[in-house]
Amino acid sequence: MSLLAVERLNKAFGGVVAAHDVSFAVERGEMLALIGPNGAGKSTVFNMIGGQLPPDRGAVLLEDKAITLASPQERFRQGIGRTFQIAQAFHSMTVCENVQMALISHHRESRAIWTEARQHHRRDALDLLSQVGMAEAADRSCSVLAYGDVKRVELAIALAGEPKLLLMDEPTAGMAFRERAALMDLTHSIARTRRIGILFTEHDMDVVFGHASRILVLLRGEIIAAGSPAEIRENAQVRQAYLGNAPALTGAP
* Positions that interact with another protein (CB under 8 A): 14, 37-39, 50, 52, 71-73, 76-77, 81-82, 84, 88-94, 97, 100-102, 104-106, 109-118, 120, 141, 143-144, 146-147, 154, 157-158, 160-161, 173-177, 203-204, 206, 240-241, 244-250, 252-253
Using CA atoms, how far residue 238 sits from 29, 219, 226, 229, 246, in Å, is 26, 9, 10, 12, 13
The nearest distance, CB 202 to another protein, in angstroms, is 10
The nearest distance, CB 208 to another protein, in angstroms, is 12
Distance CA 72, CA 120 (A): 23
**Contact, 85 vs 147, CB < 8 A?**
no
Q: Which residue number, 1 or 246, has a Cβ lying nearer to another protein?
A: 246
The nearest distance, CB 26 to another protein, in angstroms, is 18
Q: Which residue number, 1 or 250, has a Cβ lying nearer to another protein?
A: 250
Q: Which residue number, 77 or 195, has a Cβ lying nearer to another protein?
A: 77
Which element (helix H / strand E) includes 65? strand 65-66
Q: Which residue number, 40 or 216, has a Cβ lying nearer to another protein?
A: 40
The nearest distance, CB 105 to another protein, in angstroms, is 5
How many CA atoms are closer than 13 Å to the CA of 162, on its beta-carbon side? 8
Distance CA 230, CA 77 (A): 36
Distance CA 143, CA 207 (A): 27
**Pick from 211, 185, 67, 195: nearest CA to 133:** 185
The nearest distance, CB 59 to another protein, in angstroms, is 21
Q: Which residue number, 91 or 192, has a Cβ lying nearer to another protein?
A: 91
The nearest distance, CB 109 to another protein, in angstroms, is 5
Q: Which residue number, 66 or 248, has a Cβ lying nearer to another protein?
A: 248
Helix, strand, coil in percent for the chain, rounding step 5: 40, 25, 35
Distance CA 227, CA 83 (A): 24
